[in-house]
Chain A
Amino acid sequence: MKILRMAWRNLWRNGRRTLVTVAAMTLALWSMVLYTSLMEGMLSSMETTLLDVELGEIQVHADGYRERPSIWERIEDPDALLQALDETGLRSTARLLGGALVASGDVSTGALLKGLRPERDALVSEVHLRLDRGEWLDPADAKGVVLGYRLARTLAVEVGDELVALSQATDGSMANDLFRVRGVLQSLSEETDRATVFLLEDEFRNFFALEDGAHRVIVRSSEGQDLAAAAGLVEQAAATSAPGVEVRSWRDLLPGLANVFDSAQAAVQVVAFVVYVVIAILILNAMLTAVFERIREFGVLKAIGVSPRRVLALILVEGALQSALAIGIGLVASLPALWFVTTRGIDVGGLGGTAIMGVAMDQIWTGAVSPLTIAGPVFILLFVAGVALLFPAIKAARINPIEAIHHQ
């Protein structure tokens, strides 16, 4: 109790220095909580875009399709596979994929046509919710298509405009048709933005003269389900219903991005650590100065029999009090900032669509809050402050009483 009282009073002997130190620690904590929240928000948003909108957790293709995508390489009976997957409780949808030249007016470009059944696809993918303008596919509007964000810009088309598609059908004939732009997507990923056209499955089949099969089955695992376990279920379902297919989790499909997600949290901690090292130097300087100024007092304490352990504790408690002040103020100050970034977010639309490894960020960059948002920065602050305090504390504890008492 006396150590706590002494430590508290010692802090206010040089109130300005204490306030500057606490202010720096507070600012560091505040900014790190906010940074962590924004990073978590960005990763969460990217993961949502990646899994909920684009990939799903698991994909099934015909053997060899991924190495050499071709309209002829397809899962022969996707409905049997979808039914088998339904029986396992996993949500799934089939998509058809084919390359084509799309044109509007004088402009043309290559595109990937994706055929789907809107009702079934909506169980698996949130792409239908990510419209920038217009409307999603509707079976009542057979010729309606939905374009990626940049593709629409490249072709200079808007909702309601006509679009010509040209390709080679599976029967060797020239495939061509006239479609109408029904909707334009938000920025989602490099591939979707730049070159994707969504259309109804039946229209895809008509266009490519493709009677059966599908090129991709997208599968969603249940909330909290282990990815490997879900992939195992898919493999079991495929073994009987669709032999000759390849089952891959999104981690196998995009190992680079999986690594980004895995290491992102560590990257946040590293940045926090670097910021705090600067703060540690400030704490070290402040506490060394404080020890130097009070060197005679430590000498007297040692002389009258106060143990080195207690002297060490005195310095550590002073640092702990400063840290506690900074944490208290920093967390209270973080609340409105966290409220803002989680509810309102930061509009990054002006950047024209920011993507990381091909996965687009949302236009409104919102933060996320988890226990780690608070605990991570607080824990690192305490650790760094503790390390910074050790040197002055040990120095004070090991002071030679005679030299200290006669210190001028």
Chain B
Amino acid sequence: MDAQPIIALRDVTKVYRQGSVDVHALRGLTMDVEAGEFTAICGPSGSGKTTMLNLIGALDAMTSGSIALEGRELASLNKKQLSELRRDRIGFVFQAYNLMPVLTAYENAEMVLWVQGVDAATRRERVMGLLEQVGLKGMENRRPSELSGGQQQRVAIARAIASNPAVVLADEPTANVDSETAETLLDLMEELNREQGVTFVFSTHDPQVMERARRVVRLVDGRVASDERR
């Protein structure tokens, strides 16, 4: 019997209402993501990439179908349970980094652990190790405004994986950095995936990301047009 997928989407639809018009962002999308995958979701603008990530990330509710994360059906969870699920089992990396500008690199990276109620000593040990791992040793006390875009995204990655989530959802993580920085970020995420088994799901337009991904799912008009494993 096959192992249970980390993410299971079954016939998922999402319809947005814009004025008097229904916009179908996802049209019966079905796919699984296994543990340890390094998956890129690509497709043209409006194909449903971000919508799909938002639904998997429990940030939005689907119109129909089902989404399960580690076997838990998202539709059956209330707001508080969804918030706890995001906190404990999902890591987020955003296109615009979205760090707290008033917090240092260290404080940003430990944010999720703090929300989880992890004690200060454990947080410190974990976060200092992570910052060293993402190449920011010695920059713990810098605020986001004192870091480059690539460095900020590294802090965001450290924040995303600090709590050992089941999956890291990265929405266009290299869109705001130059290609050289994008390359080093991808190196970092690939290393985390390979060495620590962190599962990554990206939405991207970036050919660099698609090249490095071991699975590329192409969406067109809210449906899976192709699913390529390498």
Contacts and interface: CB of A to CB of B under 8 A. Distances in A.
Interface string A289-300: 000000011001
B179 to A, nearest CB: 25
B206 interface: no
B98 interface: yes
Interface string A384-408: 0000000000000000011001000
Which size bracket describes the interface of B in this complex?
A: 20 to 34
**Of listed B80, B85, B102, B114, residue having the most chain A CB within 10 A:** B102
B112 interface: yes
Interface stretch (A90-98, A197-205, A301-309, A346-354): A301-309
Given A304-B87, A405-B94, A9 B159 contact: no
A6 interface: yes
B88 interface: yes
Contact of A303 (B59, B80, B100, B114): B59
A304 B159 contact: yes
A310 interface: yes
Interface string A1-21: 010011001100100000000
Interface string B95-117: 01010111100010001101110
A312 to B, nearest CB: 14
Nearest to B110: A2
B92 A402 contact: no
Contacts of A5: 107
B16 to A, nearest CB: 11
A253 to B, nearest CB: 64
B102 A304 contact: no
A2 B114 contact: yes
A367 to B, nearest CB: 42
A11 B80 CA distance: 29
Contacts of A10: 102
Nearest to B159: A304
Nearest to A9: B102
A304 B102 CA distance: 17
Given A6-B103, A402-B54, A305 B88 contact: yes
A300 B94 contact: yes
B98 A6 contact: no
B102 A13 contact: yes
Given A2-B107, A13-B102, A305 B54 contact: no
Contact of B102 (A6, A296, A300, A302): A6
Given A2-B114, A402-B54, A402-B59, A303 B102 contact: no
A302 B83 contact: yes
Given A304-B159, A305-B88, A405 B98 contact: yes
A400 to B, nearest CB: 9
B84 A305 contact: yes
A296 B101 contact: no
Contacts, number: 55
Contacts of A297: 98, 100-101
Nearest to B103: A6
Contacts of A405: 94, 98
B114 A300 contact: no
Contacts of B60: 402
A405 B96 CA distance: 9
Contacts of B87: 304-306
Contact of A13 (B85, B101, B159): B101
Contacts of B101: 13, 297
A401 B59 contact: yes
Contacts of B116: 305
A297 B103 CA distance: 12
Contacts of A304: 86-87, 92, 111-112, 115, 159
B112 A305 contact: yes
Contacts of A305: 83-88, 112, 115-116
A306 B115 contact: yes
B115 A310 contact: yes
A296 B94 CA distance: 11
B48 interface: no
A6 B60 CA distance: 27
Interface string A272-303: 00000000000000000000000011001111
A5 B116 CA distance: 18
B43 interface: no
Nearest to A300: B98
A307 B102 CA distance: 19
Nearest to B80: A307
A301 B114 CA distance: 12
B57 interface: yes
Contact of B86 (A13, A296, A303, A402): A303
B53 to A, nearest CB: 10
A401 B92 CA distance: 12
A296 B98 contact: yes
B26 to A, nearest CB: 14
Nearest to B89: A305
Interface in A223-274: none
Contacts of B112: 304-305
29 contacts: A2-B114, A6-B102, A6-B103, A9-B103, A13-B102, A296-B96, A296-B98, A297-B100, A300-B98, A301-B100, A302-B83, A304-B86, A304-B87, A304-B92, A304-B111, A304-B115, A304-B159, A305-B87, A305-B88, A305-B112, A305-B115, A306-B87, A307-B80, A307-B115, A310-B115, A401-B59, A402-B54, A402-B60, A405-B94
Given A305-B83, A307-B83, 12 more contacts: A6-B102, A9-B103, A10-B102, A13-B101, A297-B101, A300-B92, A304-B87, A304-B111, A304-B159, A307-B80, A307-B115, A402-B54
The 6 closest A-B pairs by CB, nearest first: A305-B87, A9-B102, A300-B98, A305-B86, A402-B59, A401-B59
